[in-house]
Amino acid sequence: MWAAGDAVEGQAYFYYIGDEAFDVNGDELTFSKLAGIPWMTVTANGWLTGTPGAGDVGTDSASMHVEDPFGLFVDSTMSHEVITDAGNTAPTFSGGPFNLPDADEGVLYGDTIAGTASDAEDAITYAIISGPAWLIMAPDGSVSGVPGPSDVGPNVWTVAAMASNNGGATDTVNITVNGNGWTVLTDDDFEVDFGNWQSGGANAVLTGQNAIGTQNVKLNDGLGDASSIELTNSEDTTPYSQVRVDFTYIADGMDPGENFLLQYSPDGGTSWITLKSFVSGVDFNDMVREYESLIWDNTQITFTNDMKFRFENDANGGNDKTFIDNIVVYAAGVGDPYVAWENLHSLTGGDSGRASDPDGDGFDNEHEYFFGMDPNSNVNANQPTGSSVDDAGTLYPAVTYAYSNEGSVSYTIETSDDLATWTARNVSPLPAADELFIVAGPVDVGRVSTITLRYNTGYSGLPNSKIFFRIVASE
Ligand SMILES: [Ca+2]
Ligand SMILES: [Ca+2]
Ligand SMILES: [Ca+2]
Ligand SMILES: [Ca+2]
């Protein structure tokens, strides 16, 4: 038998029992009432509500049920008393619903509803009864939190003002969350499961302890992989120039100097590089919630099509815990198309770099990239070639080549009679002097297009009946 706080006859009652039950695994608990105290309602997240009437005054009891997600439960008897308090009035809100200023996705928000409720006799505290989990309310009515991608748009909460005698009132808080324009790669609140992440072992589990909402990830001690979570699937970050990782955490028992790591892998989890070490006493203090938003660009780390992130508790004492929630991986900007091309062809280590020639065909990677050739094969499709084309009975010199569709590479076609003096030529489908004419293409064949151009003068009009073509590419 245990007792919930007293209710006052004729006053709406608000009492939280979510901390009356404890699950050793930290699992989310669901509360319900099996029988007893007819006027009282129990919410799944542990609020007792209702308004007792004159006939409810006195002691009573209810049979209570609490259950974890695996169906394990305990039933117990809760004693309860409704008292009369003549002349005492319930708190009231004034001015609601409360439309607080807009919030921005991924940015720490803060405001307050302190002072919006009053009570003639008793001290007041505030609490959120229901609504989006990202917003946390302190007993003084101040609110804080970071809205994620799924919170963009209107957000509505039911809030209570509670007097010290458990009498209360409810009202509504509205906040509109504005999106931030970043592309969301992954977004996980861990309410149901690990989502896009996977546990590395026994010391990385889901728990309700210190969670935003009902669950988060607990990383315990430093058992290496077993104390880590990583993205299950790789992300392709090559189309972008920036990545960003947002998350919130609370450390519990992390002694000064102990740390956890945020790492990334450019190769799907084979190798890991530490992006930041979060150190107790430097970056955080025990049991103080922190919100992080960290951005890297493609000059700082290598963007690949096989990119992963990992969180790992690196502490070495006993029972050092880091609780991580609301992990969002974002991307933005336009990536370096050459890096994307290297990734496409799996050019790593000594095979990478514009000056390398891993297939030994005499074309360095930059040439192969500019002209749509294969850096891993010395049989080069798309290699520029010269030819002759017959146009209305006149035979012209022509050149066929491939050019990048990415728009970042510019090409100039030059001609020469003697390989000494070169003249840049305009490319045009219109007949005009001193130009090259398109006779085939462009044909889009993937990341490049192929095209065939003829010179403006036939062989019979050329010095020595020949001309040289040169294609100058730059980025
Ligand atoms: Ca009162
Ligand atoms: Ca959560
Ligand atoms: Ca080559
Ligand atoms: Ca090649």
Domain-embedded: residue 310: yes
**DSSP assignment letter at 419:** S
Confidence of residue 129 (pLDDT cuts 50, 70, 90): very high
Summarised one tens digit per residue, pLDDT across range 374-405 is 999 998 889 999 999 998 899 999 999 999 98
The answer to whether residues 18 and 140 belong to one domain is: no
Ligand nearest to the CA of 122: 1
Q: How far is the CA of 248 from the centre of ligand 2 (A)?
A: 10
The answer to whether residues 107 and 147 belong to one domain is: yes
The answer to whether residues 308 and 351 belong to one domain is: no
Q: How far is the CA of 127 from the centre of ligand 3 (A)?
A: 66
Which tokens belong to 168? 């209360």
Torsion over CA: 206, 208, 211, 214 (sign): positive
Which tokens belong to 370? 């500019």
Residue 166: φ, ψ to 5°: 75, 5
Ligand nearest to the CA of 363: 3
Give me the chain's average pLDDT, please: 93
Pairing status of strand 435-444 against strand 423-427: parallel
Q: How far is the CA of 368 from the centre of ligand 3 (A)?
A: 6
Summarised one tens digit per residue, pLDDT across range 66-100 is 998 778 888 999 999 999 998 999 999 998 899 99
Q: How far is the CA of 344 from the centre of ligand 3 (A)?
A: 15
Of 125, 158, 178, the domain-final residue: 178
Q: How far is the CA of 325 from the centre of ligand 2 (A)?
A: 5
Q: How far is the CA of 8 from the centre of ligand 1 (A)?
A: 9
Torsion over CA: 261, 262, 266, 270 (sign): positive
The answer to whether residues 134 and 190 belong to one domain is: no
Q: How far is the CA of 382 from the centre of ligand 2 (A)?
A: 52
In whole angstroms, give the CA distance from residue 190 to residue 34. 29
Q: How far is the CA of 49 from the centre of ligand 3 (A)?
A: 74
CA 107 to chain centre: 13
Domain-embedded: residue 376: no
The answer to whether residues 326 and 188 belong to one domain is: yes
Amino acid in position 417: D
Q: Please name which of 351, 460, 440 lies closest in space to residue 397, comparing C-alpha atoms.
A: 460
Q: Please name which of 70, 325, 69 lies closest in space to residue 209, comparing C-alpha atoms.
A: 325
Which tokens belong to 259? 């740390």
Q: How far is the CA of 451 from the centre of ligand 4 (A)?
A: 20
Of 178, 193, 227, the domain-final residue: 178
Domain count, the chain: 5
The answer to whether residues 260 and 308 belong to one domain is: yes
The answer to whether 43 and 49 have CB atoms below 8 angstroms apart is yes
Cis geometry, peptide bond prior to residue 97 (ω within 30 degrees of 0): yes
Q: How far is the CA of 263 from the centre of ligand 2 (A)?
A: 21
Domain-embedded: residue 58: yes
The answer to whether residues 156 and 196 belong to one domain is: no
Q: How far is the CA of 146 from the centre of ligand 2 (A)?
A: 12
Ligand nearest to the CA of 165: 1
Q: Please name which of 315, 286, 323 lies closest in space to residue 209, comparing C-alpha atoms.
A: 323
The CATH number of residue 19's host domain is 2.60.40.10
Q: How far is the CA of 385 from the centre of ligand 4 (A)?
A: 15
Summarised one tens digit per residue, pLDDT across range 145-171 is 999 999 999 999 999 999 999 999 999
Which tokens belong to 52? 């007792």
Q: How far is the CA of 347 from the centre of ligand 4 (A)?
A: 12
Q: How far is the CA of 35 from the centre of ligand 1 (A)?
A: 29
The answer to whether residues 405 and 457 belong to one domain is: yes
Least confident of 47-56, 69-78, 120-129: 69-78
In whole angstroms, give the CA distance from residue 443 to residue 130. 58
The answer to whether residues 268 and 195 belong to one domain is: yes
Range of the domain at 100: 92-178
The answer to whether residues 49 and 158 belong to one domain is: no
Q: How far is the CA of 406 from the centre of ligand 4 (A)?
A: 20
Domain-embedded: residue 298: yes
CA 37 to chain centre: 45
Residue 428: per-residue pLDDT:
54
Q: How far is the CA of 238 from the centre of ligand 4 (A)?
A: 22
pTM: predicted TM-score of the whole model, two decimal places: 0.77
The answer to whether residues 327 and 238 belong to one domain is: yes
- DSSP one-letter string for 270-283: SS-EEEEEEEBTTT
Confidence of residue 22 (pLDDT cuts 50, 70, 90): low
Residue that is written with structure tokens 């150190």 in the block: 279
